[in-house]
Amino acid sequence: MVDKILRELKEEGQLEYFEKVEASSGIIRAIRRSLIELNMAGLRSRDIATSSFIDERKGKEITLFLRKYEEELEKAKLIDLPGVYSFAIQNVQATAPSDEALFLCLENQPFRKLEMEFLKKIAGESLIVVPRDPAYGLQKPKRFFFSGKTEALASQPATDIERLPWLFSAGEAPPPFKDKTLELFRAVGPTNECREIIRRIFQEKISLDEIEIIHSPGSIYPSLFHVLSAKAGLRVTYADGIALTFTSPGKVFNGLVDWLESNFQVSDLCRMIEGGDLRFPHEKGQSVPSPLKISRYLKNAMIGWDRERYLHG
């Protein structure tokens, strides 16, 4: 639908800011995501102020996209996710207060406007916002629920580790207890940070069941920990799992893709075989040459590259 709208507007010459944008799948997804987010924020095309944009042409064309999108939905008698939330908000009945029906919501759970309105409507007085540790010195995000009890929970720390809520407001933090419940260290780069953590685990002989490592978003730290912990012989679990490229199927998949992209270079094929990830099928009891020997055979065959230089078995 968004693809159709973009093409029609370009053909009609109604676009100036987005005139040179091609209707690729990535662009279509980005525009649709923007339209959905605007609707989830409770905004319709009539609510958007073009003066809020740095370039008013962009604001006018975003409004045009949104209006056309709304018209197409109505014409086709379809409903999208924001429409489902709006319909539910208008028609759902609030839950009557009861000891048996409670709605628990973490205080720092982000909600878009329609999601928050729906939750408040369906939960009614049965909504309980569970307070979390505060973070002094940071502005509270508007999309988060707040119970108002957070500051009271952390106002009287009893240990140094309980002073962490003042990490971004060190000047207002209570005096330290120096009880060794919190220790800071510096390391050059993520790799050295991970090495220092592993070194301290061994040095202090800490049970792995007592350790939780919290890191900034992204795959850098899990990847480093996977490699370093494997070398150290530590069995580590990951909340989001490990990257596919660390598994044998993932290595084979990436290796085969590289092999195809390199026009079937034999060196890429040998690398997969030598790594032990690509194995040859054989019947039970049948002897198979070692991976290094198979790799050597391929190299001695002087194939080099190109699919036609391989013989079909």
Pick the more confident residue, 85 or 149. 85
3 state DSSP class of 128: strand
The mean pLDDT value for 164-183 works out to 89
Q: Give the pLDDT score at 93.
A: 75
How much of the chain, in percent, has pLDDT values that exceed 90?
22
- Say whether pLDDT at 153 is over 60: no
- Judging by beta carbons within 10 Å of its beta carbon (0-12, 13-18, 19+), is residue 148 exposed, middle or buried? exposed
Q: Give the pLDDT score at 38.
A: 92
Pick the more confident residue, 33 or 107. 33
- Specify whether the CB–CB gap between 105 and 129 falls below 8 A: yes
For CA atoms 293, 299, 305, 306, the dihedral sign is negative
Backbone angles phi, psi at 60, to 5 degrees: -65, -40
What is the rounded CA–CA span in Å between residue 109 and residue 221?
24
3 state DSSP class of 104: strand
Question: Helix-strand-coil percent breakdown of the chain, rounded to 5?
Answer: 50, 5, 45
Q: List the beta bridge partners of residue 144.
A: 110
Q: Give the pLDDT score at 14.
A: 87
The mean pLDDT value for 177-187 works out to 89
- Specify whether the CB–CB gap between 163 and 182 falls below 8 A: yes
The CA–CA distances, whole Å, from 68 to 2, 14, 23, 64, 97 equal 9, 12, 16, 6, 42
Across 118-122, 204-208, 245-249, least confident range? 245-249
- The secondary structure element, H or E, covering residue 106 is strand 103-106
Reported as a single tens digit per residue, the pLDDT across 95-144 is 666 657 788 888 878 889 999 999 888 888 888 888 877 888 888 777 78
Q: How confident is the model at residue 268 (pLDDT cuts 50, 70, 90)?
A: confident
Q: Give the pLDDT score at 313.
A: 60
The structure tokens 């065959």 sit at 301
For CA atoms 76, 79, 80, 86, the dihedral sign is positive
Domain map of the chain by residue range? 2-85, 92-172, 189-241, 247-309
**What's the one-letter identity of residue 164?**
L
Across 49-63, 143-157, 172-186, 299-313, least confident range? 143-157
- CA nearest neighbour of 165 among 154, 174, 176: 154
Q: Give the pLDDT score at 252.
A: 84
Hey, what are 262's tokens?
């390199």
**What's the one-letter identity of residue 24?**
S
- Say whether pLDDT at 176 is over 80: yes
User: pTM of this prediction?
Assistant: 0.58
3 state DSSP class of 202: helix
Directed axis angle between helix 25-40 and helix 2-11, to 10°?
110
- Say whether pLDDT at 19 is over 60: yes
**What's the one-letter identity of residue 119?**
L
- Say whether pLDDT at 152 is over 60: no
Half-sphere exposure for 256 (CA within 13 Å, toward CB): 8
Chain mean pLDDT for the chain? 85
Q: Give the pLDDT score at 99.
A: 59
The mean pLDDT value for 13-23 works out to 84
Q: Give the pLDDT score at 26.
A: 84
Q: Give the pLDDT score at 189.
A: 92
The mean pLDDT value for 167-196 works out to 90
Q: Give the pLDDT score at 142.
A: 78
Reported as a single tens digit per residue, the pLDDT across 274-310 is 877 777 776 676 777 788 888 888 888 888 888 878 7
